[in-house]
Amino acid sequence: MAKKIITGGTIATATDTFKADILIEDEKIVQIATKIEDKDAQVIDATGKYVFPGGIDPHTHLDMPFNNTVTDDDWESGTIAAAFGGTTTILDFVLTAGETRLSDAVIKWNEKSKGKAAIDYGYHLMISDLNEETEKELPLLLEKEGITSIKVFMAYAKEFQASDRTLYKAFKIGKETGSVVMVHCENGSVIDELVEEAKLAGNTAPIYHALTRPPEIEGEATKRAIELAHVAGAKLYVVHVTCKEAVDEIIKAREKGYDVYGETCPPYLTLDQTALEKPDFEGAKYVWSPPLRPKSHQEPLWNALKAKQLQTIGSDQCSFNFNGKKQLGINDFSKIPNGGPFIEDRFSVLYSEGVAKGRISLNDFVDMISTNAAKIFGLYPQKGTIAIGTDADIVIFDPNAKRTISAENHHMNVDYNAFEGLEVLGEPVSVLLRGEFVIKDKQFVGSLDYGKYLKRKVAKEQ
């Protein structure tokens, strides 16, 4: 691989913003300097552009069976769309529900991702139940596969929901192995009852998806996860925080010194519950869990990001076509597959709505979109920043580009875009992964066998 120089750009890390050139050699950043010249190197002009570390999406579901169907984006379309959006690493959830041995699930996931990954990736291990055997297997499997994160659901009573006992055991194993435990915090048992009530009352439209999952129930589960993690001594990562109730609990926990991290997602920051009331069943496009909230919840989320009380932005990519898939719930909102297509727009929506609108700083943006995830999930210092010795995962970003998000030109394999019509400022122009172009001048030039599985190790400090 030839050396490369990125010249003329403004480098932005989670701390710093400065003009400098970057020299890349053997997949790594080896020099940063005022001006770099090297005849053997390919020169990439980044004048007028930001040079960001590649985005890290800590929350994706590619090629995942769910709600009696399967997501429409598999690893191929998913990782290509991610790359277009400025993301060079994803962490995908390996489903273990139904497997006798947890390792079987990893094998399945390797089959899904094999030869279909345009970008680097790692796995989180989803645990639904811990019995005597899986309790023993789990720490060994984490070690063997280089996985440093366990995922537990407090929702989806019929599919994935763990009991409090399993949740607590997962925290204990998190403590012992140093793994972070990620939790989907909603009280699934109560939601099931509310859904039944709604259906009995003849309330079948998509909006009832939101109304049967009230924010109080997310706040409750968040508090529960926090205290159980604290008693076990584990690090907790609350996925997809959507509401003031949950933010409040996270802030209080951190005030007490608990090791709690929080993730939110672009739709919760920009869309609201009224989207589920769109006519012609279009509300179904906005059905995912936890649901969109009333608009008043957006400001607490932005405030928590600004105050560094939420650390990361996940896409929670989990795409289902409107036609054929979302429409399965036309007569019953509970049959609408849960999830949405966000992997491509995560980066740009946060930049445009956050940085360009003055809500968060440029450096905090980098922290949220890349660095914090790298640190929390054991990818740092290989990933997540621009510094000597790190992987040359780089996004060259035009902060002045104006464009409108639309399914017509997105790269996800899904027939709608939840941000359809949103005008954004800023666009990834070129994206490099370990020194190689994946996206070059807005064209995909990567290869599906270049993305590597990332064995991780436990982060020593946050």
Binding partner of 304, given Zn ion, its own copies, none, CB within 5-8 angstroms per partner class:
its own copies
Distance of CA 234 to the CA centre of its chain: 21
304 binds its own copies (CB under 8 A): yes
Cα 320 to its chain centre, rounded Å, is 17
Return all residues near 222 (Cβ < 8 A) that are at least 6 apart: 185, 238, 241, 245, 246, 249, 250
**Helix, strand or coil for residue 30?**
strand
Residues 238-257 that bind its own copies (CB under 8 A): 247-248, 251, 254-257
Task: Say how many residues touch Zn ion, by CB under 5 A.
Answer: 2
Told to check if 455 binds its own copies by CB under 8 A, we report no
Which one of the spans 6-14, 67-75, 142-150, 278-286 is the region binding its own copies (CB under 8 A)? 6-14
C-beta nearest to Zn ion: residue = 184
CA distances from 120 to 113, 265, 301 (A): 10, 21, 29
Residues 70-99 as x/- pattern, contact with its own copies by CB under 8 A: ------------------------------
Smallest distance, its own copies to C-beta of residue 207, A? 17
Shortest distance in whole angstroms from residue 355 CB to its own copies: 9
- What 8-state DSSP symbol labels residue 286? G
Backbone dihedral region for residue 167 (phi beyond 0: left; psi -120 to 50: alpha; all else: beta): alpha
Q: How far is the CB of 326 from its own copies (least distance, A)?
A: 27
CA 12 vs CA 137, 252, 324, 387: distances in Å: 42, 31, 43, 11
Q: Of 28-57, which residues contact its own copies (CB under 8 A)?
A: 30-34
Site for its own copies in 250-289 (CB under 8 A): 251, 254-257
Examine residue 204 and tell whether it contacts its own copies (CB under 8 A).
no
Smallest separation, CB 208 to its own copies (Å): 14
Q: Give the residue, chosen from 3, 4, 49, 184, that forms a contact with Zn ion under the rule CB under 5 A.
A: 184
Which helix or strand (DSSP H or E) is residue 253 part of? helix 244-255
Residue 220 vs 398, nearer CB to Zn ion: 220
Beta strand 21-25 pairing with 28-33: antiparallel
Binding mask 310-349 for Zn ion (x = CB under 5 A): ------x---------------------------------
Q: Which of 368, 350, 358, 364 is nearest to 422 (CA)?
A: 350
Stretch touching Zn ion by CB under 5 A, among 16-24, 183-191, 212-220, 411-419: 183-191
Tokens of 302: 């932005």
193 belongs to the binding site for its own copies (CB under 8 A): yes
String of DSSP letters for 180-229: EEEEE-S-HHHHHHHHHHHHHTT--STHHHHHTS-HHHHHHHHHHHHHHH
Q: Which does 367 bind (CB under 5 to 8 A by kind): Zn ion, its own copies, none?
A: its own copies
Q: How many of the other CB atoms lie within 10 Å of CB of 350?
A: 26
DSSP SS3 for 179? coil
Position 285 contacts Zn ion (CB under 5 A):
no
Nearest approach, Cβ of 361 to its own copies (angstroms)?
4
Handedness of CA 325, 326, 330, 335 (dihedral sign): positive
Angle 5-9-10 from CA coordinates, rounded to 5°: 130
Comparison of 9 and 206: residue with beta carbon closer to its own copies: 9
Q: How far is CA 40 from CA 23, 25, 70, 393, in A?
A: 11, 11, 47, 20
Reported residue count of the chain is 462
**16 in contact with its own copies (CB under 8 A):** yes
Report the partner that residue 316 touches, choosing among its own copies, Zn ion, none (CB closer than 5 to 8 A by kind). Answer: Zn ion
CA dist list (Å): 82 to 63, 310, 362, 386, 412: 14, 22, 21, 19, 8
Determine, following the binding rule CB under 5 A, whether residue 116 of this chain makes contact with Zn ion: no
Among 120, 316, 353, 367, binds its own copies (CB under 8 A): 367
Question: Which residues of this chain interact with Zn ion, rule CB under 5 A?
Answer: 184, 316
Question: Which residues of this chain interact with its own copies, rule CB under 8 A?
Answer: 11, 13-20, 23, 30-34, 163-165, 168-169, 172, 187, 189-190, 192-194, 214, 216-217, 219-220, 223-224, 227-228, 230-231, 247-248, 251, 254-257, 299-300, 302-304, 306-309, 358, 361-362, 367, 371, 381, 385, 387-390, 461-462
